[in-house]
């Protein structure tokens, strides 16, 4: 039954890796949700036309935080200034950049109460999607354990123990998701 333990550990490692990816995706999606403060990751989703191919903005420009409410975007090539400005304007972030020479300043508009509530709703939806993804990983791992039991590769006790360990992983990652959500909500509520 030593092989059974090894297979159970493989299932656990795979489940944990997939749960971690769900949490990472949640953090990535949270970075797209704008708070009132300026931080460079807000522009991570912006794509710029660079000689015929779309590339992330951070590959054609340096992004700095000038102050709490302003980003400074400095394209590495002078001819990219209008393209970068247009990409920021046409993104779905609701930002209105202004150019002075080769520096594009992106002021962060104040969030209204209504916008804050909309962003919180969006953050909660992203968190729920991450929870569902983690639960789907749990279901897949439990199905793998059941098929091992059916094939008589592991005993019922090993299956139960494996399911308990997968449930503990699930609980841990759901708690991390909840913690990330409350942190994002706190960020959004700060005036």
Query: Considering the domain 40-104, what is its CATH architecture?
Result: 2-Layer Sandwich (3.30)
pLDDT in tens, 105-157: 888 777 778 878 888 888 899 899 999 999 999 999 999 888 888 888 788 88
Q: If we measure between CA atoms, which residue out of 59, 58, 75, 66 comes closest to residue 37?
A: 66
Q: Is the pLDDT of residue 1 over 60?
A: no
CB 48 within 8 A of CB 87: yes
Q: Topology of domain 2-32+112-189, per CATH?
A: Topoisomerase I; Chain A, domain 4 (1.10.132)
Note the pTM of the prediction, 2 decimals: 0.69
Domain positions in the chain are 2-32+112-189, 40-104
pLDDT in tens, 4-54: 677 888 888 899 999 999 988 888 888 777 666 667 777 777 888 888 888
């Amino acid at each position: 039954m030593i092989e059974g333990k090894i297979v159970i550990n493989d299932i656990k490692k795979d489940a944990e890796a997939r749960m971690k990816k769900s949490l990472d995706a949640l953090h990535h999606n949270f970075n797209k949700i704008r708070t009132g403060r300026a931080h460079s990751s807000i522009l991570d989703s912006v794509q710029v036309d660079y000689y015929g191919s779309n590339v992330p903005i951070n590959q054609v420009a340096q992004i700095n935080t000038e102050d709490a409410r302003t980003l400074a975007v400095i394209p590495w090539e002078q001819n990219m200034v209008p393209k970068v400005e247009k990409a920021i304007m046409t993104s779905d972030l609701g930002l209105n950049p202004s150019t002075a020479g080769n520096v594009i300043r992106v002021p962060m508009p104040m969030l209204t109460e209504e916008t804050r509530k909309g962003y919180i709703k969006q953050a909660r939806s992203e968190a729920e999607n991450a929870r569902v993804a983690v639960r789907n990983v749990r279901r897949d791992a439990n199905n793998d354990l059941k098929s091992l039991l059916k094939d008589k590769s592991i005993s019922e006790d090993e299956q139960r123990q494996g399911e308990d360990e997968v449930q503990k992983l699930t609980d841990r990652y759901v708690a991390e998701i909840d913690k990330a959500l409350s942190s994002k909500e706190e960020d959004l509520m700060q005036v």
